[in-house]
Structure 1
Amino acid sequence: MREIIKAIRITLVLWVITAVIYPLLIIVVGQVAFPYQANGSLIENQGKVIGSALIGQPFTSNQYFWSRPSTVAYSTVDPKNDKNNILKTGISGASNLAASNKKALIDDRIKPEIDRLKQANIQPTADLVYTSGSGLDPHISVEAAYSQTQRIAQNRSLSLDMVQALIPKYTEGRFLGIFGEPGVNVLKLNLALDNLKPPT
């Protein structure tokens, strides 16, 4: 009986430590030391939340930098027709199409994307053609960003130098200086683009 009581006590103590104290500690540390990251890295424009720096958004207008393709369309669904509650929970993931699935992967997805980029005089890069594993990547490569500047400058009546000058400002380096490749946050870049005024 003593062993059972001891086991129950240990279980309760461990439960309090791991299910109550530790999560509360993480919440406090997050809110005090990293409030921006802990609250979703939200980006505001004129006092209104327009997105997160961690989740991509689709941009299709010729006046904006285009995002990376997404198999889940960045979880954008019609709020009136959200049968699976995607807007409440979000959704991510790859298409799971194998390289051998020529019709669905190559013919239906990749070739049309390459054609669309070429029609817009954009040199196709891997990240502008292929989707990310999560389908929610908010970044494009530096090369992909520069390849779109001519189109944007023409459509916004801006000088090419003005548009290109924004890219280094919104380029994020490698994680811890060694992991991954530098990337450009598309939402932040497009928001800065909206604040540029054409020369008078």
Structure 2
Amino acid sequence: MNLGYVRVSTKEQNTERQIKKMKELGIEDRYIFIDKQSGKDFNRPQYQALRLIIREGDLLYLDALDRLGRDYDGIIREWKLITRELNADIVVLENETLFDSRKFRTMGDLGKLMEDQFLSLLSYVAEQERKKTKLRQAEGIEIALNNGVKFGRPKQKITTEFVNAYDEWKAERITAVGAMKRVNMKPNTFYRRVADYESGSLLVSQS
């Protein structure tokens, strides 16, 4: 039986192009599994449904390898599960020359060895890509900071009442408990707000 798996990362993205490819292969609608979810892990409802029905001798089609997922260690694990434990096959349409488990299967033990090496190489390349992506992100953040872009949560505001109570407490004119009563705060909240105020992460409201 031929199966198709289609994935996009968000609900807003269109799946039609991938679905069209699956239908052109003659795959029935009921055997095309579609997720609109991030590929960071494999806890996706339609992928899990696919895993439940795929059997020995079945052939799973993907438009591209990253449609299976973005976690390449996980991709290797899922690839081996499907092709070796379940004895089904996978074809990646974007590059059938490399990504077709049937070719490795026909080579017997040598094919498994070659497939292991191929998947290890895939993992290494993916890791390098992840590092490049992180580096580009870091460089982008540095450029943005140099251009005055600010990241993170905006500074919270506090009242002048808190500042006055804080000053009185620091001058030892009132106790911490007295300061808490003035601003109607519990100890944890009060000391957290004190730490934020002293670190400069709070703005004083003029209202």
TM-score range, shorter chain: under 0.3
TM score, norm. by length of structure 2: 0.25
Question: Higher relative contact order at CA 8 Å, sep ≥6: structure 1 or structure 2?
Answer: 1
